[in-house]
Amino acid sequence: MLDIRFLKENPELVKENIRKKFADHKLPLVDEVIALHDRKRDVTGEADSLRANRNKISKEIGGLMAQGKREEAEEMKKLVSEQAERLKELAQEESELEVKIRDIMMKIPNIIDDSVPVGKNDEENVEVEQFGEKTNPDFEIPYHTDIMKLFAGIDKDAAGRVAGEGFYYLMGDVARLHSAVLAYARDFMIGKGFNYHIPPFMIRSSVVTGVMSFEEMDAMMYKIEGEDLYLIGTSEHSMIGKFIDTITPEEQLPLTLTSYSPCFRKEKGAHGIEERGIYRIHQFEKQEMIVVCKPEDSMEWFHKMWSYSVELFRSLDIPVRNLECCSGDLADLKVKSYDVEAWSPKQQKYFEVCSCSNLGDAQARRLGIRVKGEDGKKYLAHTLNNTVVAPPRMLIAFLENNLVYENGEYSVKIPEALRPYMGGQSVIKEVK
């Protein structure tokens, strides 16, 4: 969310930013919110004037009563009563204007970084760099759920009977691999100096609206009926919410956090190969990284964070690339975003496994996350987030890139880094 003063001083800049995001339907919001803010200023000014006048008249009434001028004092009391009614009307209008202004400001996109390429949608995202040789085995790679079935590792039919489409049971070595990847990711981030958290898996609506746009909220969040609670779509939500209405001494920054949680999402599905399998599901687990820092440090942390994802995936023998999200693919709160995509030898293309985002002070402004500088002045922090790993997508990439076919049998090799979390296993063998 932008500062209203910044918007009023730079309306054309804000409009041009909206055009870069190809969200022209939001252009009228800029003039509308300026008009509402001007009206609020007038209402507040009239109310302040009436309050000052009321105090003055109250003193005059006291003087008149002391002089025995009762009739004049009564006339003045009537005037005070009339002004009290007007003050009540103004207070009501002021309150309504505040709500309208905040609602509109929460719909106006954050100012994107100058380095972000301009494009309409994810088809115009820009590849930055590739890491690792793309694997092209000389045998046909089964679909990822079929790979899991080779190792007696998945049951979607039973999950469908229990919970419906978009759920699954993981079993045996595949389930163990899933847990091993998360444990390895946890320790990887702790090794980078991040403080490990397990956060609440439900959050209040005030936190939801603080961490994401209304569009994201409607598309993602599950509401707990009868309560002011939502299931989290990622632990970023509750981790950023941890700092709501706080003031952190500047010397304690940056705050570097890594968190584990289940995630719950109202996924709508996708076309083609992603329509089935476990690409898009309603429940999964994830290790996340969060940074709260000074504004001047946020871009440096942005580049550190995506590089950690690349390092982790390469340690597991998975080729990846960085993709810069174009202007039209950025959510309203984001200043800049990279997707880390893993290579799929089955599909012969990359697919998203991590998303690293710098949100500037947008979340901090909504949630009141402030920093106290050495000079005693307070300012808004910058917040960033990035996926460390999110099985099952990460699991799909791992299985496809580490699959071996020899002597008529399939197996999966376990990279050295992951073996301590697999009880020393170096290979998973096909279950006949």
Summarised one tens digit per residue, pLDDT across range 228-278 is 999 999 999 999 999 999 999 999 999 999 999 999 998 754 444 455 678
pLDDT greater than 60 at residue 103: yes
In 3D space, the residue among 395, 388, 102 whose CA is nearest the CA of residue 236 turns out to be 388
CATH number for region 4-105: 1.10.287.40
Summarised one tens digit per residue, pLDDT across range 174-183 is 999 999 999 9
Instruction: List the chain domain ranges.
Output: 4-105, 122-429
Of 235 and 73, the one with more pLDDT:
235
Predicted pLDDT of residue 169: 95
Q: What is the mean pLDDT of residues 98-123?
A: 96
pLDDT greater than 60 at residue 284: yes
Alpha helices in 163-257 (DSSP H): 172-191, 205-211, 214-220, 235-241
In 3D space, the residue among 357, 352, 334 whose CA is nearest the CA of residue 342 turns out to be 352
Q: What is the mean pLDDT of residues 377-398?
A: 95
Predicted pLDDT of residue 83: 75
Give the rounded percent of residues in the chain with a pLDDT score beyond 90: 81
In 3D space, the residue among 185, 128, 183 whose CA is nearest the CA of residue 340 turns out to be 128
CATH number for region 122-429: 3.30.930.10
Q: Can you tell me the distance from the alpha carbon of 93 to that of 102, in angstroms, rounded to the nearest whole number? A: 14
Summarised one tens digit per residue, pLDDT across range 207-231 is 999 998 777 777 789 999 999 999 9
Predicted pLDDT of residue 278: 83
pTM for the structure as a whole: 0.89
Q: What is the mean pLDDT of residues 300-309?
A: 98
Block residue for tokens 């909206």? 18
CA–CA distances in Å: residue 60 to residues 79, 98, 277: 12, 34, 80
Residue 379 Ramachandran class (φ > 0 left, ψ -120 to 50 alpha, else beta): beta
Give the rounded percent of residues in the chain with a pLDDT score beyond 70: 92
Same fold, 4-105 and 122-429: no
pLDDT averaged over every residue in the chain:
92
CA–CA distances in Å: residue 74 to residues 51, 187, 205: 19, 77, 50
